[in-house]
Amino acid sequence: MIKGLIGKKLGMTRLFLDNGREVPVTMLEAGPCTVVQIKTLEKDAYQAVQLGFGQRRVKLVNKPEAGHFRKADVQAAKILKEFKVDDVNGITAGQMVDAAIFTVGEKINVTGKSKGRGFTGVIKRHGFGGGRASHGCTTHNSPGSIGNSATPSKTHRGRRMAGHCGDVQTQARNLRVVDVRPENNLILVRGAVPGATGSIVILEKS
């Protein structure tokens, strides 16, 4: 059984449950994905399924990629991703996989690339408290002391300081599926997921 999909973040909204409670949810376009390649124990020493998401124009595909898609008899995909499976029996190249693999109430992990924040200070990047706000303090956004005195007289590697923030792969774990709409290739998960609206995300069962 395939336990994951490639999707796209569509944005956030709110949903009212049957008991009248309001919950924040993220709308995700989950597939449909096409099975492009099947990895087997005999040939590849592990079992996995390569899925493709989206379509790419023929002139943008190089010859090795074109041969890869031609072998599976599928259209060129924008995104390829492997998902490990326990058994590949019953899975064929060209098979379509959609949001129906997820059910309401189960938990999934969503992986995406976080929004880039550029060069930021320690307060925004690491949550530092900053300097005092009174009594003549002039270092409100300073990290404070970052080194040692005579011994060892240097700043240790790994010290949290200002620098590049965001634009890295991150994962939101154990998000509960609130609603599944296979006819529209949509699933709604409770809470926020990493990435900007329109960015590619990977959905996997916890």
pLDDT band at 171 (very low <50, low <70, confident <90, very high): very high
Residue 148 has pLDDT above 80, yes or no: no
178 vs 2, 16, 29, 105, 185, CA distance in Å? 20, 10, 14, 6, 14
Q: CA nearest 12: which of 191, 201, 203?
A: 191
On the question of a cis peptide bond just before residue 32, with omega within 30 degrees of 0, the verdict is yes
**Total residues belonging to the chain:** 206
On the question of a cis peptide bond just before residue 182, with omega within 30 degrees of 0, the verdict is no
Q: What percent of the chain has pLDDT over 90?
A: 50
Q: If DSSP codes are grouped into helix, strand and coil, which group holds residue 60?
A: helix
Q: CA nearest 172: which of 120, 127, 113?
A: 113
Provide the strand spans (E) within the chain.
Answer: 4-16, 22-30, 33-39, 48-53, 79-84, 96-97, 107-113, 118-120, 163-165, 169-181, 186-190, 200-205
Residue 90: the pLDDT is 84
CA-CA distance, 27 to 192, in Å (whole number)? Answer: 9
CA-CA distance, 37 to 67, in Å (whole number)? Answer: 12
Residue 187 has pLDDT above 90, yes or no: yes
Residue 13: the pLDDT is 93
Burial of residue 56 (CB within 10 Å: 0-12, 13-18, 19+) is middle
Residue 169: the pLDDT is 95
pLDDT 10s digits, 88-111:
888 888 888 889 899 999 999 999
Q: Which CATH topology does 4-205 take?
A: Elongation Factor Tu (Ef-tu); domain 3 (2.40.30)
Domains of the chain: which residue ranges? 4-205
pLDDT band at 9 (very low <50, low <70, confident <90, very high): very high
Residue 107: the pLDDT is 94
* Residue 24 bridge partners (DSSP): 14
Report if pTM > 0.85.
Answer: no
CA-CA distance, 179 to 182, in Å (whole number)? Answer: 10
pLDDT 10s digits, 36-84:
999 988 888 999 999 999 888 888 889 999 898 888 888 889 999 999 9
